[in-house]
Amino acid sequence: MADVDVAPTPRPGADPSSGTAPSSGPASPQKTIVVSGIQPSGTLHLGNYFGAIRQHIALHTRHEAYYFIVNYHALTTVRDRDALERYTLDVALDYLALGFDPNAATLFVQSDVPEVTELAWIFYTLTPVAQLEKGVSYKDKIAQGLSPNAGLFNYPILQAADILIYGGTLVPVGADQKQHIEITRDTAQRFNQTYASPDDPIFPMPEPYILDDVAVVPGIDGRKMSKSYGNTIGIFDEGKTLKKKVMSIVTDSTPLEAPKDPERCNVFALIKLFASEERREEIAAKYRAGGYGYGHAKKELYEMISDFFAEARERRRELARHPDDVRDILREGGRRAREQAAPYMERARRAVGLITTY
């Protein structure tokens, strides 16, 4: 079980700009352009929120930002066309409900910028197979039982194209994605060294933005919370559904009256995501004193999750009543993203010698 220790998090939709400093930042004085994507492969969960979405929301009003729903990537695992469409719209609803302002930054669907797959192909021709064979994320997914298809294998290069085609310089990701950002940097460097002059690189060198205070968010079985493990608590789960999941969190068999170590408890690891420092200490003291059962802790966690996302839950319900408005936001976001991508893609085409004959 992983301990999770984060600073108290503002309610979704509140001003989240005062957070923990990133472990990495832009390496040069060039303009900061934030880019990141999230996969529409199922219902977004607490691991997605604390691992990525809250950073996205925190950064999107402070810098020029492009956030995309990576439906090309989702094709590596989702085989149901209706589900993919539904998941894609659901991700947009979630982001907007959690505080994303489409007037401050760009939210769009990956496939609305088809040039990204063209750039990925160019990058494939420069990428050593050995580099992809070392992919930790690929090996992990195969170990989980996913089919070892070429899409999963080449995932980091399409991700590199996602980042570089918009001139991304800062990429908020979870710690498990750090290797992919290193591959993106290698790809940019390899392309620039091959096709551009040293004093006029085509693609910038992006840096990861990884919060130091977030470890792995545990799922209800104690493993990393992941859709592929089926152990998630959805961001917008509520009522009986939420209560059932919280009450099913795995704990040990220590009796109610006995003292307990909160730092070894899956329930407390999740409580720490939502509670203030003072509240965390109060609950930890109850654990250590005895007479406080895991059932008590689960009840408190249930109430914390319900309260934390209450306002966002209401906003999501209202947004869901107007799906065409959400699609309009994505459509406009796609237009802006294509405008941003166009000069990078054109320079890349010219650099490698792809001529236009029409």
Report DSSP state, residue 5: -
Active-site residue identified among 224, 260, 272, 286: 224
DSSP H or E segment with residue 67: strand 64-69
Which amino acid is located at 157 in the chain? Answer: I
Q: Are 287 and 265 in contact (CB under 8 A)?
A: yes
Q: Does residue 134 have an active-site annotation? A: no
Active-site residue identified among 134, 139, 227, 298: 227
Q: What count of other Cβ atoms lies within 10 Å of the Cβ of residue 148?
A: 11
User: What distance in Å separates the CA atoms of residue 39 and residue 135, rounded to the nearest whole number?
Assistant: 18
Active-site residue identified among 31, 134, 141, 286: 141
Burial 238-271 (b: 16+ CB within 10 A, else e): eeeebbebbeebbbeebeeeeebebeebbbbbbb
User: What distance in Å separates the CA atoms of residue 125 and residue 170, rounded to the nearest whole number?
Assistant: 25
Q: Does residue 240 have an active-site annotation? A: no
Q: Are 50 and 9 in contact (CB under 8 A)?
A: yes
In the three-class reduction of DSSP (H, G, I as helix; E, B as strand; rest coil), residue 208 is classed as: strand
Q: Does residue 227 have an active-site annotation? A: yes
Question: Annotated catalytic sites, by residue?
Answer: 141, 224, 227
